[in-house]
Structure 1
Amino acid sequence: MSFRYENVTAVPSCMDWRKKGAVTPVKDQGQCGSCWAFSTIAATEGINQLTTGKLISLSEQELVDCDKAGEDQGCEGGYMEDGFEFIVKNKGIATEAAYPYDAADGTCNSQEEASHAAKITSTALNMVFQVITVCPLRKVQVFYLDIDLVKNFKLKGTMALPLERKIIYAALMIIGMWASQASSRTLQEATMSERHKQWMVRYGRIYKDNAEKERRLSIFKDNVEFIESFNNLGTKPYKLSINEFTDQTNEEFQASRNGYKMPLGPKSSQVLSFKYENVTAVPSSMDWRKKGAVTSVKDQGQCGSCWAFSAIAATEGINQLTTGKLISLSEQELVDCDKTGEDQGCEGGYMEDGFEFIIKKQRHCL
């Protein structure tokens, strides 16, 4: 393919297409390997804006569902070149509103596919490869790219990428191109919405619809502001941080983590003897991990099963101390099978009832 600007040597040291109004807001590909489609659409949106003056958010999902030519395989990956060819041959692409993204492979909606909001031509595709061609004019072996995810991915300043077509595999939409090796300018501070989207990618969070996403964004914003305000005060010897629970309210977190039903009085009238009740020489502390009696950290997820995790952790330790074997046992068996007394799976329960279940069953599964 010929490049119409191949003889141009007077080029700016940097170009931020956001300032030209040619970049739509940040989007999230979710748990779908569709970066190729997002890059193709981002470039097409920019080309359309530069040629028509209209910035329109276009459909990545149409490429994921409908472009099966060449190596393009939806969420399994693909090539931007094939994506561009699809748009050219299809004589356009639908809007994101008409053909919304759902982060999964789907059946091609031929009706929406035929609804074209923007199109590109083979000539316009020259613009897509501009970043690959400009750098050789300056005899630079790499080009430098500032990225939005510097905070979460521990990258500072700029990312240096090799000057070869393999950069396409990374499928990054380049919104600012730096040809200088000395470039170190970073992008502006991410908005709260962008931080939320970055957080969603980091923790693999996908919401069922936009209404839930907006509600979770509001909760996320409140929690982040509280965290930053708390840390700025500096009145405590510890700091708070953003984690996987930052889009939950206190009530939601408590409901998923406070599954132990604390009894108001003794759970049982049965009197049990304690063989060590007269022992007074005891260590000031005991770390059972050092005795090899504790398994690796486990995660109960969004289930109020802390009672089951506590019962199983104690059982694992007892088993190791009596048999010398540390075996990871099943919390799920208690959640599913122990329905005696107050134990109600993810709705909470008692550790005592969990122990009783294991005793009556005689053994516990791995």
Structure 2
Amino acid sequence: MRLFATGLLLFMAAAFVVLKRLLMDHPEWGGPLGYAIAFTEAAMVGGLADWFAVTALFRHPLGLPIPHTAIIPENKDRIADSMAAFLRDNFLTPQVVARRLNGFNIAASLGGFLADPRREEQSRIRAGAAQLVGDVLESLDPEEMGGMVKAGLRRQIEKIDAAPLLGQMLENAIAEGRHLPVLESVLRKIGEAIEANEPMIREMIHQRANSIMRWTGLDERLANGVLDGAYRLLAEVIVQPDHPLRAKVDEALVKLAQDLRHDPQMQARVARIKTDLLENPAMGAWIDGMWERARAGLLKAVRNPDKALSGALGESLSQLGEALGEDRKLQYMVNRFARRTLVGVASRYGSEIVRLVSETVKRWDARTVTDRIEGAVGRDLQFIRINGTLVGGLFGLCIHGVEQLL
């Protein structure tokens, strides 16, 4: 476009010279040639003026340090601040983000993607994102990254005040009766343990019985009574919801939950147990293995996203997508969470993003700024030169016509 605009200007200059020569050789053609000469002369003026204006934006015309030229290179820092301010005021304020997200159904869009993730455009997005995540995971040092993840996990566990949390969980379980299946399962396991070790229990009773009891056979009857009583007690506790032993267990569990929440000694004991557990080499080995399995699984999934989305996982995601697409209440909850999250991001990090844009542009050298802006809008600027040449010629015709009438 620059060559075309320059060529048009040179054509007008050449036409002006030719027409002037024709007028000198043929004065009688002055009428028609006068209009043509006026057109080319005014076109040259318009083209040159717009060439100067466009060139002055990016550099000094003809290399001459004319004031108020090379506007963009000379003011790139101010332009960077203006771009950052424009981005902040129009895109990254919490009010703007909230307003723009207000009519956007994020949940429905996500639901459509999850329900049918194999559509062509979505497959390209998923493949590109998977490739990016895979490259990032492979570029990171496994040992260093694993150390960071494990250290972060350990710090988070250390921050947790486990005793009150366990107490609250236990109280909620007792209030909702969720501890009863566990209690019944424990009682059944106790019964199975007694049955599996019945010969050992009988032998213990025989050894502790005196010789008279062994001679009369009372030790065997005692062993049978003890075992039968144990089996009967366990069965009664399991089948009778109002058994007194159940009430005792519930009372003990409620007391334990209260101590976990309010007793400093119990809380200190739980904290020591947590510290010992974290310092146990077996726990470190378990965390190592968990990180390696998670990393390997994630790499496998991102390197083959279509396979990862097949089977149970893909079916679960598809069902979640259908729910997001159809359940208005769920959509409302997801959209509200997404809006709050994005507004919070804009509020907390908007100024940092704006500063990043401003500092990045300021770090560019003047030539880089000029080339990038000119590459983005230069084509349209050359149309200004073309229009200036043609519109200038038309005004030249009008002025020459008015001159002839006067």
Which TM-score bucket, shorter chain as reference?
A: under 0.3
TM-score by length of 2: 0.20
Higher relative contact order (Cα pairs below 8 Å, separated by 6+ residues): 2
TM-score by length of 1: 0.21
Q: Which has the larger radius of gyration?
A: 2
